[in-house]
C-alpha cells in the first residue's frame, strides 16, 4: 500500500494532505487507552458522610500522572443526603444506603496527549462497569 501510494504521488503529482482517512495508510482510528489507576477510601460511607478528595492517578509503573477530584455521597432511600451521622457505624448494619459518585475534574495531568478523559469504575454488588462523562 505504501509503495503504491508513493508511486501514485510521483506519477500523478498528488498531495498527501489531500488523502482521505481511509486512503491514508498511516492514519489509525482513535481508540481509548487506560492511563492509570486511582484509589478512594470508602471509610466515610460507614459514617454516612461524603468525602471529597483529590486522589492521585498512578501509571502502571507507579509514576504520578495527575489528580482526580471526586466525591462519593451517601444517600437514603429517598435519594437524599443523610441528615444525621451515626455515632457507631455498626448501627448501619442492615440499613439501606445508596450513594452517588461525583467525578468533578482532573488536575495536573502530566502528559499533553491526553484528551477526552473519563473515569470507569465497578460497583460493589452488581459488578457493573460505570463510566463518567468526559471531563
Pairing verdict, β 120-122 and 98-107: unpaired
Q: Which of 26-35, 41-50, 125-134 has the lowest mean pLDDT?
A: 26-35
Grid cell listed for 79: 435519594
Quickly count: other Cβ atoms within 10 Å of residue 72's Cβ: 18
Report whether 104 contacts 134 (CB < 8 A).
no
Question: Which residue ranges make up each domain of the chain?
Answer: 34-131
Whether 121 and 106 have beta carbons less than 8 Å apart is answered as no
pLDDT score, position 54: 95
Please state the pTM of the whole predicted model.
0.70
Residue 111 confidence (pLDDT)? 63
The helix (run of H) or strand (run of E) holding residue 9 is helix 2-12
Amino acid at each position: 500500500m505504501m509503495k503504491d501510494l508513493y508511486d501514485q504521488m510521483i506519477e500523478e503529482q498528488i498531495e498527501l494532505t489531500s488523502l482521505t482517512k481511509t486512503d491514508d495508510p498511516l492514519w489509525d482510528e482513535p481508540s481509548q487507552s487506560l492511563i492509570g489507576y486511582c484509589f478512594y477510601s470508602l471509610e466515610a460511607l460507614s459514617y454516612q458522610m461524603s468525602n471529597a478528595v483529590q486522589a492521585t492517578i498512578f501509571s502502571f509503573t507507579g509514576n504520578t500522572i495527575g489528580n482526580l477530584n471526586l466525591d462519593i455521597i451517601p444517600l437514603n432511600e429517598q435519594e437524599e443526603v443523610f441528615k444525621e451521622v451515626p455515632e457507631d457505624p455498626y448501627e448501619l448494619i442492615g440499613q439501606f444506603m445508596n450513594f452517588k459518585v461525583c467525578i468533578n475534574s482532573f488536575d495536573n495531568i502530566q502528559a499533553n496527549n491526553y484528551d477526552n478523559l473519563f473515569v470507569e469504575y465497578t460497583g460493589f454488588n452488581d459488578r457493573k462497569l460505570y463510566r463518567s462523562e468526559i471531563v
